[in-house]
Amino acid sequence: MDMQPSVKIFTGNSNPELAEKIAKRYGNGLGKLTIQKFSDGEFQPIYMESIRGDYVFLIQSTNSPSENLMELLMMIDAAKRASAGYITAVIPYFGFARQDRKDKPRVAIASKLVANLLTSAGANRVITMDLHAPQIQGFFDIPVDHLDSSAIFIPYIENLKLESLTFASPDVGSTNRVREVAAYFNAEMVICDKHRKRANEIASMVVIGEVKDREVVLIDDICDTAGTLTKAANLLMEKGAKSVRAFCTHPVLSGKAFENIENSVLEEMVICDTIPLRMESSKIKVLSVADLFAVAIRNMYENKSITNLFVHSHRR
């Protein structure tokens, strides 16, 4: 009699707290995996239990991307060589996603390279969330389940019971993401159009749309230095907004990000736990993606649709 393959969930070092939550929500403990470190900085993932024929889910964000990405690639390779039945890379935060095209001469398209590496290593599927550019899914020749943080953010926004609600995109690149959430609430939307001198440095910004006496919610996928979000929030308040909140999926929060957020006019910054926080802030509220990923893993294993995980697909 054929036995159904088991589900086994493992994690690297990028975000073990989130991995533990996902495994607990799923109903499994984390599998036994050791990452052996050598004195020269080299490392070696070792599965401490049999995974032959199993459905293996490897949870690893690629924040501070190089070492975490290499860990994930080696975990995939080790699982393949240990005869895992089906290998899924669960990547809550997909690093290098901002390098999705040649926006200047003689640069790499790093997100395509990462897609190739994951496939070559032996991944059969990828589960990720809020890619910086949704078309990155097309860089893969394996299935990609692309989850959406609006399933977490929308209930939180509903509970705020804000009057005169208006949504704002902090730049032109986020307009589609923000438009979908605004449509769910039948709310207005404005755009903060920015011009950069260079990466992480904004030269100018203007607001396209009316925000006077509105309670504004900014939505973005990545918060790096928080320069764009805090500048947008300040500008929106100058244009007459009652209040400004920011919702951001991936808290990269590098450089002076925490200082920028603390000194901003933002009522609060709501983020997900796809990347662990380096420090706490009185203005930062963390919502967990663990339930969403646990359900996605279960539905994938049971060959069920994940459409019901997208809240904004059920418009009011």
209-222 pLDDT, tens digit per residue, is: 899 999 999 999 99
Q: What is the mean pLDDT of residues 30-58?
A: 96
Q: Which of 189, 263, 256, 202 is nearest to 226 (CA)?
A: 256
In this model, does residue 151 exceed pLDDT 70?
yes
With a pLDDT cut of 70, the percent of the chain lying above it is 94
| Matching fold, domains 7-147+291-310 and 150-287 | yes
pLDDT on residue 89: 98
What is d(CA 130, CA 77) in angstroms, rounded to the nearest whole number? 25
Predicted structure pTM score: 0.93
Q: For the chain, what are the domain ranges?
A: 7-147+291-310, 150-287
Is the predicted pLDDT of residue 197 greater than 80, yes or no?
no
Query: What is the average per-residue pLDDT within 162-185?
Result: 91
pLDDT of residue 205: 80
Q: How many CB atoms lie within 10 A of CB 159?
A: 8
Per-residue confidence (pLDDT) for residue 64, from 0 to 100: 83
* From 24-28, 95-99, 105-109, 168-172, the region with the lowest mean pLDDT: 168-172
For the chain, the average pLDDT equals 92
At the topology level, CATH places domain 7-147+291-310 in Rossmann fold (3.40.50)
Q: Which two tokens stand for residue 239?
A: 């244009």
In this model, does residue 7 exceed pLDDT 90?
Answer: yes
Whole-number percent of the chain with pLDDT over 90? 81
Q: Is the torsion defined by CA of 169, 170, 175, 180 positive or negative? A: negative
Interior angle at CA 134, CA 253 and CA 219, nearest 5? 45
Fold of 150-287: Rossmann fold (3.40.50)
**pLDDT given at position 1:** 46
Distance CA 13, CA 16 (A): 6
Above 60 in pLDDT, residue 76? Answer: yes
> Region 140-153: what's the mean pLDDT?
96
Q: What DSSP line would sit under the chain, residue for residue?
A: -PPPPPEEEEE-SS-HHHHHHHHHHHT-PBP-EEEEE-TTS-EEEEESS--BT-EEEEE---SSHHHHHHHHHHHHHHHHHTTBSEEEEEESS-TTTT--S-SSTT---HHHHHHHHHHHHT-SEEEEE--SSGGGGGG-SS-EEEE-THHHHHHHHHHHT-SSEEEEESSGGGHHHHHHHHHHTT-EEEEEEEEEEETTEEEEEEEES--TT-EEEEEEEEESSSHHHHHHHHHHHHTT-SEEEEEEEEE---TTHHHHHHTSS-S-EEEESSS--SS--TTEEEE--HHHHHHHHHHHHTT---GGG-GGGS--
Residue 61 near residue 13 (C-beta atoms within 8 A):
no
Q: How far is the C-alpha of 139 from the C-alpha of 288, rounded, in Å?
A: 28
Amino acid at the residue 238 = E
User: What's the residue count for the chain?
Assistant: 316
* 177's tokens: 């993401």
Tell me which amino acid residue 89 is.
A
Distance between alpha carbon 66 and the CA centroid of its chain, in Å? 17
- Look at residue 134 and tell me whether its pLDDT is greater than 80: yes
Measured over the CA atoms of residue 246, residue 252, residue 256 and residue 262, the dihedral's sign is positive
Catalytic annotation, residues: 194
- pLDDT, tens digit (0-9, with 9 covering 90-100), for 237-296: 999 999 999 999 999 999 999 999 999 999 999 999 999 998 889 999 999 999 999 999
Rounded Cα gap, residues 187 and 43, in angstroms? 50
Q: Are 217 and 241 in contact (CB under 8 A)?
A: no
Q: Which residue has the higher pLDDT, 2 or 191?
A: 191
User: Where does the pLDDT of residue 207 fall: very low under 50, low under 70, confident under 90, or very high at 90 and above?
Assistant: confident
Cα 303 to chain centroid, rounded: 23
